[in-house]
Copies of this chain bind each other. A is one copy, B any other.
């Protein structure tokens, strides 16, 4: 037996007990003839005391950092207690020890504040995983998974495995494909999600399905994307949107409780997609703080029926505003005393290529009620005051205004809002705010092909009130310049996103379950009947045999864990992540394969 206890459980109650521990040498400290060793395992750290009589043996078998050690000894009360450690009241008086395995010097320290850089830690991920900081992340991940399974089990969901070797039906993202040796010339695809299979399960009557499942997308990777990622994938039959919102708001709250001990008792906020765009410039707003957008000018067709404030900025001969499609402002609380340097920094920030604005206009709402702005030349104090009043800006606030093309300006204002929120400490990683964003557009316009693409995916149902519009109109866009006037532009989806602290953690929809509507949808996306049959014949077929109304949701498990862990990076919450080129630098994959493998698969390279 390698151990009687772990390194995390002994305390004063165990004094005088004979124990055996195994673990890694964290630190070695010599005090005269006595050697102290901190022994570490998954459960904690226990101090070992090697008294003088072991010195000879220690000299013959010198210990080193990260050596694997087995010791036997007696639990003893420490004179010099460590209140930070669960085992800090005791130490082990070692009677016997053996080195189970040695270690060469690790390339970085196994500590929270390690000296290892990112690349080095990824190459030696097996050592990085020893660090407490990483271990806590994986423990949190496990806890989130377990909480999810318990909740869904109690709600009568069944975990049903769907296949990984499926059919390539590229729509949007690229598939990873797998050549089939037994079917030469043919390929499997790895699933981007189990979407169609979970819908088939609904057709089969398994009315509450879930899976915590790997999914695959061959996309060019951004910082926070992985070619393989994990979803909490769920589907329900005989439900409407409201049933799903309640069920999965319950799931997230249960996770808050189980994992963070947070009683999230209030209802999650709800907001239409249009309101989110209008108020936050973003379909996944961080609602932990205000600083809402003030839409001083915008193209009327984008937000029909909204208040028009353009008179506040027009007629002042300020060309930047007059010529801009949109002018959008936010008010930063308590920032009126920003120095020139600070406002210049903000201006530089919005001029970065990632944001892409030409400049930034500010109005300081001074504490004394006066106003000072970068556009004093054009706007009287009275006019500035009117703007401030419309924005409900308070004395002490700093109004920031961006002008330009609608889409870019709205996005930039949203980014600026988040940036300032961060700077002002309004985005605390351990404060959590849930939001449902609802009523997304069903379609987006693809300029390149002059056709519609599905904003969510081709299986999302339109709102019941929009089904007739969809069925009774030709999806063809006759006049690309006026695509917004096409009836399809206003069709809303029966779709919903769950947003946590400005991150989309989940999204889903009520699905189409009528064959004709599904065919109309495929046609709207430019798929002819042959292609429909080839790619999704099995689903259209299934819809002929009594498909029930159904809908579902999928949560990004990696991201959910990262946010709950207070981190921006999903990579920190994945045991063996890949880098931005999709490489696992530890095992050095992908890599070349043997000629024999090419021969058997009947493929060859065709490198450009």
Contacts and interface: CB of A to CB of B under 8 A. Distances in A.
A601 B547 CA distance: 37
Interface string A576-591: 1010011110111111
B187 A592 contact: yes
Interface stretch (A123-131, A413-421, A483-491, A497-505): A123-131
A465 B489 CA distance: 76
Contact of A186 (B68, B163, B170, B591): B591
Residue from A102, A124, A576 whose CB has the most chain B CB atoms within 10 Å: A576
Contacts of A167: 584, 587-591
Nearest to A536: B587
A42 B240 contact: no
A43 B602 CA distance: 48
Contacts of A597: 168, 170, 174-175, 177, 187
Residue from A141, A587, A603 whose CB has the most chain B CB atoms within 10 Å: A587
Interface in A265-322: none
A451 interface: no
Contact of A187 (B41, B124, B513, B591): B591
Residue from A220, A230, A238 whose CB has the most chain B CB atoms within 10 Å: A238
A190 interface: yes
Interface string A393-427: 00000000000000000000000000000000000
A162 B126 CA distance: 12
A27 interface: no
Given A41-B207, A177-B178, A228 B164 contact: yes
B160 A592 contact: no
Contacts of A600: 174
A101 B546 CA distance: 5
A203 B586 CA distance: 14
Contact of A606 (B66, B205, B583, B603): B603
Given A546-B24, A547-B101, A42 B205 contact: yes
Nearest to A153: B146
B177 A537 contact: no
Contact of A593 (B177, B204, B543, B581): B177
A482 to B, nearest CB: 31
B575 A160 contact: yes
B177 A601 contact: yes
A181 interface: yes
A594 interface: yes
Interface in A49-74: 66-68
Task: Give the bracket for the number of chain A residues in contact with chain B.
Answer: 35 or more
B164 A138 contact: no
A389 B40 CA distance: 62
B538 A586 contact: yes
Interface in A215-231: 216, 218, 220-221, 227-228, 230
Nearest to A576: B163
Contacts of A135: 205-206
A243 B578 contact: no
A255 to B, nearest CB: 15
A136 to B, nearest CB: 12
Interface string A495-532: 00000000000000000011000000000000000000
A345 interface: no
A68 B67 CA distance: 65
Interface string A148-165: 010001000011111111
Given A22-B238, A547-B68, A548-B68, A138 B607 contact: no
24 contacts: A3-B238, A24-B548, A42-B206, A104-B544, A126-B542, A130-B204, A149-B149, A161-B214, A161-B230, A162-B575, A163-B228, A165-B582, A167-B589, A177-B178, A178-B190, A180-B590, A181-B218, A182-B220, A185-B607, A187-B590, A188-B590, A538-B588, A602-B605, A602-B608
Given A138-B206, A187-B593, 5 more contacts: A24-B205, A68-B549, A183-B581, A197-B575, A197-B576
- 7 pairs of A and B residues whose beta carbons are closest in the complex: A129-B204, A103-B546, A167-B589, A186-B590, A2-B238, A180-B590, A66-B546
